[in-house]
Structure 1
Amino acid sequence: MGTDSRMYMVHCMTPVHVGAGQGVGIVDMPMMREKVTEWPYFPGSSIKGVHRDFFRNGNHKQPDKWLDVAFGKGSSRGEDDAEGAERDADDGNAGALVMTDARILAFPVASHYGTFAYITCPLVLKRFKRDVEAAAITMPELNVSTLSELVQSKQDQDQSVVHSLSQLRKRDHATSKDHLYIDEFVNEAVEDPTFTAWADWLAKQLFADDHISQSMLTERIALVSDEAFQYFVTMCSEIVPRIRIDQNVKTVAEGALWNEEYLPTESILYGLIWSDPFLGQQHNMNGRKLLDELPQKTYLQIGGNATVGKGRIQCRYVKGGAL
């Protein structure tokens, strides 16, 4: 039997470090990346963990029974009960809510015009379109094959697709063409009405009641080639040096200098949420009721270094259909 689903969309309000452990290269503490693509992502376990904390302690605090059904409960077998006898029954259960990894949708890169650009690429859009269809979400028609052809090299220069209201482009009066100056690259800028319609839809889903942020996104989003996107997400992350001070001499403690990698502020990611059948004790909650507790948006903290202002994200939830 199918159940309702949601797509969650993440907007990074500060740099985020969801770490992959100790690195072996220049970066001592790299962030999590997909094995095949090397694109940054947030593991579903991290997403689910911060949601559990939100529903345990946040403004939408839920009772323990709801938390046990939604997020799971550890078994108490082997523990002593109130009378001191060892429990034998296995009363643990897996959580009914399923949260996928958060995949990258748009990555912020410095731009000579417009300050910065939200860049994406055809391969990202193909995966996004596939996930949108899986969640039965209605989205404007997006012909990714046509967009892929537009961003291919033309006379040794890549093209980028931009919104009709883009602030990223600069007119070259000698050639009567628009160009984008993103990081160290120069691309010819072209418009596509389907990309404009999709960007408008995305802005409304991500910033439903924030018209300023909607315009920031539509004016700065750009579609680049898969190869250019690969370069940006692997070479243009935020690297922050950290130190620990020796309080006795007020200088850096020996061996206490390291580098951390962060997903930059303004990064946009997405994932899916649905509810599996609950396998446990009797209850009066179904999958739809669990998902209905999700608010329109939440502010969460994910990853490390919360006390220095890192890891602040906004999540919005787009309602889908049956999976």
Structure 2
Amino acid sequence: MFEKTRLLFLYAVSPVHMGAGQAIGVIDNPIQRERHTDHPMIAGSGLKGALRHHLEGKWNKAEVARLFGPESNASDYAGCVSFGDAQLVAFPVRSLKRGFVWAVSPVTLARLKRLAVLAGCQIDWSVPQPDAEQALVADAGVLNQSRLVLEAFDFAAKESEALKTIAKWLADNALPTGPAHQHFRSKLGNDFVLLPEEAFSHFVRNATVVEPHVRIDDETGTADEGGLFYTENLPSESLLVSTVLASAERSPKDKRNGEPMSADEVMRILVAGNGKPGLDGALIQVGGDATTGRGQVVLRFAPETKEG
């Protein structure tokens, strides 16, 4: 039984290709999407594998196996950590003012709040509801003559203090700490817009990064005839959220020293490490096309609510 839950944010610093494994439309290599919303996502199984691979480069394999389970003979014992699917929170969209903004919808914010409450985070904001055909903005500086212009579309818009509260919460809790990310924390707190569901769905379906690739013939070193294909990527600056769950350690006595770790200890080591780097603040690689710089995301565990 899982006894500990933490909220984990994933912030893309390069385009991310977490492949769906099948193509239905004109894109040969589409990204994973939820069936009911069509929002981009990262399956929990793929996320767990990427995190395990990352930690195997930082810890020894025995330490990793105590948390994630054995690499072979999986029936020996189960791991004590679990990762939920990473759901989309905020999507970057090109804007007439300030370069780009982060777009959210009532559904993405409501799902974020639900996960945050389940993970024990202190949430003091409610999800505002925009009128039909109208957007809400955290800061009027993103508007052009009272209109929000995104890509080739413009929306009637008004400033919302409730949305600004959410933007500040995300800037403080979702983005990595440290001076390297200060600009983006400040930008997220201001360049943050809430779109109606239909408009948001249009952008997450049609404003991803689609790159043409050419397959090279091994013998000639030139383009293979008929080798043109298209790969879809989640754009950099995208923000996703997942849950991490921990139970008491399940590994047998001969695989550990001393008593099994409690769920609290498992989570602490996963987040902060144990004399070695943990996952909080780590730059990891998820998905495909790693050798071309794709799939780089920075992790941030939302702070735990302090008791008392």
**TM-score range normalised by the length of the shorter chain:** 0.7 to 0.9
Question: Is the counterpart of residue 208 in structure 1 residue 177 in structure 2?
Answer: yes
2:148 aligns to what?
180
2:24 aligns to what?
24
- Of 112, 118, 136 in structure 2, the residue corresponding to residue 161 of structure 1 is 136
Length, aligned pairs only: 290
- Of 261, 264, 267 in structure 2, the residue corresponding to residue 291 of structure 1 is 267
| CA contact 1:74–1:92 (8 Å) conserved in 2 | no
Letter aligned with residue 168 of structure 1? V
Query: Which one has the bigger strand percentage?
Result: 1
- Of 250, 263, 267 in structure 1, the residue corresponding to residue 234 of structure 2 is 263
Cα separation, partners in 2 of 1:251 and 1:280, compared to 1, 3 Å: closer
| TM-score of the pair, normalised by structure 2 | 0.88
1:225 aligns to what?
196
How much does 1:133 deviate?
Answer: 0.7
Instruction: Please give the alpha-carbon distance, in whole angstroms, between the structure 1 residues aligned to 2:71 and 2:296.
Output: 29
Once the two structures are superposed, what CA deviation does each residue of 1:1-52 show, in whole Å capped at 9, x if it has no partner? Answer: 8733211111111100000113132011111011111111001111111111
Letter aligned with residue 69 of structure 1? R
How much does 1:276 deviate?
Answer: 2.5
Contiguous gaps of at least 5 residues in structure 1: 77-89, 172-177
Instruction: Please give the alpha-carbon distance, in whole angstroms, between the structure 1 residues aligned to 2:22 and 2:166.
Output: 39
Instruction: Please give the alpha-carbon distance, in whole angstroms, between the structure 2 residues aligned to 1:35 and 1:229.
Output: 16
How much does 1:198 deviate?
Answer: 1.4
Instruction: Please give the alpha-carbon distance, in whole angstroms, between the structure 1 residues aligned to 2:252 and 2:221.
Output: 57
Letter aligned with residue 166 of structure 2? W
| TM-score of the pair, normalised by structure 1 | 0.84
Instruction: Please give the alpha-carbon distance, in whole angstroms, between the structure 2 residues aligned to 1:207 and 1:159.
Output: 31
Contiguous gaps of at least 5 residues in structure 2: 254-258, 273-279
How much does 1:307 deviate?
Answer: 0.8
Name the SS of the counterpart of 2:66 in structure 1.
Answer: helix
1:194 aligns to what?
162
How much does 1:211 deviate?
Answer: 2.1
Name the SS of the counterpart of 1:132 in structure 2.
Answer: helix
Instruction: Please give the alpha-carbon distance, in whole angstroms, between the structure 2 residues aligned to 1:57 and 1:2.
Output: 26
Question: Is the counterpart of residue 68 in structure 1 residue 65 in structure 2?
Answer: yes
Letter aligned with residue 66 of structure 2? V
Instruction: Please give the alpha-carbon distance, in whole angstroms, between the structure 2 residues aligned to 1:12 and 1:75.
Output: 31
Cα separation, partners in 2 of 1:255 and 1:214, compared to 1, 3 Å: same
Instruction: Please give the alpha-carbon distance, in whole angstroms, between the structure 2 residues aligned to 1:159 and 1:207.
Output: 31
Once the two structures are superposed, what CA deviation does each residue of 1:50-109 show, in whole Å capped at 9, x if it has no partner? Answer: 111122113xx2x43432221111554xxxxxxxxxxxxx96212110110100000111
| CA contact 1:207–1:213 (8 Å) conserved in 2 | no
Letter aligned with residue 20 of structure 1? A
| CA contact 1:4–1:320 (8 Å) conserved in 2 | no
Question: Is the counterpart of residue 305 in structure 1 residue 280 in structure 2?
Answer: no
User: What does residue range 64-103 of structure 1 map to in structure 2 within 5 Å?
Assistant: 64-74=61-71, 76=73, 92-103=76-87
| CA contact 1:163–1:221 (8 Å) conserved in 2 | yes
How much does 1:249 deviate?
Answer: 4.8
